Amino acid sequence: MSTAEEVPGLLVPPDLEVALLLQTVWDMLAMGGHWPTYERVDRVLFHQHHLDIATVMSRTSTELLRGGRPEGGAPPRDDGELTLTLAGAASCSGSGPAIDVVVAAARLAAAAERDLDPAEADPLLTFADVARELGIDPSRARDVARRSGLLLVSEPWTGSNSLSEDSWQLRVDRRARPYAGVHDLAEYWGRRKERAPASRDTRQAAPAENIIQLNRRWRLGEQLGEGGFGKVFVAVGDDGTAVAVKFVPKEPGAERELLFARQEGFRNVVPVLDDGELGDDYVLVMPMADATLRERLFAAGGGLSVGEALAVLIDVVTALTDLEGQVVHRDIKPENVMLLDGTWCLADFGISRYSDASTATHTRMFSLSKEYAAPEQWRLDRATSAADVYAVGVMAFELLAGHRPFPGPGLHDFQEQHLTQAPPHLGGVSPQLDAIVQDCLAKQPKARPTPVSLLQRLEHAATPKTAPGFSALVDAYRQHCEREVAAAAVVTAQDITNMTKQKRRPGLAAAASRTWARVSTTLLSTVLEAAPGVAVYHLDDGGWLVILDGAALELSTAWPVPDLAPRWPFDVIAHATVKVVVHPTHADWEGRSHSLWYCDAQREGQYGWFETAFMSQHGGGPQEPFALWPEKAEGALSDVLASTQVAWPFTELVPGETDEFGDRWIGWFGAAVKGKLFRPSFIPESDPAGSWRRA
């Protein structure tokens, strides 16, 4: 079954409190076999979730829920029951089997009406008929029969029908004809929208006074949709420009300026063409989008190609680079990404700030877009641009895999998954691209890439490159094979608000280990791609060693580092080493090794893997330059002239990529295999001055 979010035109809950109300109604139906009363749902919401049902129902459309009391958003029923529509049920966990029955019933009803002899009476369709079609044993599916029968009552093509405790039957007439051949909810809903009576359509007529005057005059048309923070109408300007007009209710606790955020100079955001106030609403006028990203995903039937996904992500992250430090969106998801004139743009970043400010702290968790919310948002911490990067990571996973990294389905399931569970790795993409997504989904905000860094990495991933080091190793391996032929031869979720540096270290160490594993895997896979027959040795410490014709390339595991403060100018979390060893014929020089430190060497609080190396003031050692453990490198980083000095500038590694770092090392290894790697003529080879933070 398609999820509610994947069905174009199907109204979905505007916020998590409404979603919780609908889920509660469905769960109580599942437990009791009948629609629950308003009073029973009220008690559950109040005692289990501290929610006021009247407040939540005032935001709940009758296209999702019916019944209740007059003060609610839905008209009352005489029996006091709350009932879900098919759209309301579609947003609930556990409703899939019943909705599948409704869709199959429509398909069978259309077939029965088509095959009917004109002289005969209307055919009768039963649950047993549908169960056989779906391969269900009717005697073991009484609950499904009951729930599907209750949902069928409100469908526009059903007429006279009867419902028992464990079955149902209905008479079929011409109204079922449009549903011939439907197989899923999306297809069913598309035909239902086209043919259902206007009173059942989610679109509503514009207000009677359909001319509004802001800075410009606009003529309102039909209502396009409704969410927790506003209604949206089609409108046309005096010059014929078609636009979307959003009415946002004025809410206590939220200032006007939060809604009307400055947009000048921001690329790839949906612009506000006009704005103002009308009565109890703020009004925003925006261009009509060609499509939303959610609609594109639905049209694609799942994920997108790598090329198309990268193009979308680059457009979105370009917007984030401009917004960084000024506006945090807080609600990035495919529904808020719009296609305008060939560019994917962020929409509603003012709405998200307004929503956040006008929602009470204790209920804010229920207003999150649960599928995309960052761990710190679940903890009710202050959101920064890192929360937007996390949401982009979830969206990137969805674009590439066709599903989200965390399946939920319930509110607290999502909370647990975002806070504690590591995301799965992406299949069918490069290690480089998988690493980008994994880094965006880091539990620690400071372990995620900045928008600028993320944009650079995405652009890099989208641009094929010719790597000279890779080519050098391919050539070296080819020569090796010719000679042989000739001779016949995981941050945890328990991070606390305002953590101290010491409490933050375990989470950062976990991020360091996870990203280092990807660096290691990527480099080794590149070596094996270039030289598939090379000997590989996996070391006890978790590192690896490859040997070819007496030359070797070695990469260690990542080791944790004790806190070096206050003696150090920056914070080092973990370290590793990379080494190339030349052929033993080099009597006085064994090769070179570099240090790799997970630290905030250049920007305080911004952690990543940095490559560096050291040299002795006296020179001439067997390894030059050489790696050092951080504990032994204090003198080299001080302002005092020491016997050991920095020989390689601190250079940040981009996890998952082989360019620069990876290509350089496999190039050195290829040269060593050929016997053409020598001690550097000058050290340092590049000026390291200014490449790390001073105390």
Radius of gyration of the chain (CA): 31
**pLDDT beyond 50 at 538:** yes
**pLDDT beyond 70 at 350:** no
**pLDDT beyond 50 at 553:** yes
Percentage of the chain surpassing pLDDT 70? 81
Residues with active-site annotation: 331
Q: Which one is predicted more confidently, 673 or 12?
A: 673
Known binding residues: 246
**pLDDT beyond 70 at 513:** yes
Whether the CB-CB separation of 171 and 162 falls below 8 Å is answered with: no
Whether the CB-CB separation of 590 and 622 falls below 8 Å is answered with: yes
Confidence (pLDDT) at 488: 36
Q: Percent helix, strand and coil across the chain, each rounded to 5?
A: 40, 20, 40
Whether the CB-CB separation of 178 and 191 falls below 8 Å is answered with: yes
pLDDT band per the 50, 70, 90 thresholds, residue 261 = low
Domains and CATH numbers, the chain: 11-65 (no CATH), 74-157+164-186 (no CATH), 211-287 (3.30.200.20), 294-497 (1.10.510.10), 507-674 (no CATH)
Confidence (pLDDT) at 485: 44
Task: Pull the structure tokens for residue 195.
Answer: 């043919």
**pLDDT beyond 60 at 674:** yes
Lowest mean pLDDT among 79-83, 166-170, 326-330, 562-566: 562-566
Average pLDDT over residues 162-191: 85
Average pLDDT over residues 452-459: 91
Confidence (pLDDT) at 78: 46
Confidence (pLDDT) at 309: 95
Known binding residues for ATP: 246
Angle, in degrees to the nearest 10, between helices 431-440 and 501-530:
170
Q: How many CB atoms lie within 10 A of CB 567?
A: 10
**pLDDT beyond 70 at 471:** no
Neighbouring-strand partners of residue 560: 574
Confidence (pLDDT) at 263: 64
Comparing CA positions, the residue from 309, 462, 463 lying closest to residue 392 is 309
Percentage of the chain surpassing pLDDT 90? 27
Average pLDDT, the chain: 81
Q: How many CB atoms lie within 10 A of CB 97?
A: 15
Confidence (pLDDT) at 229: 58
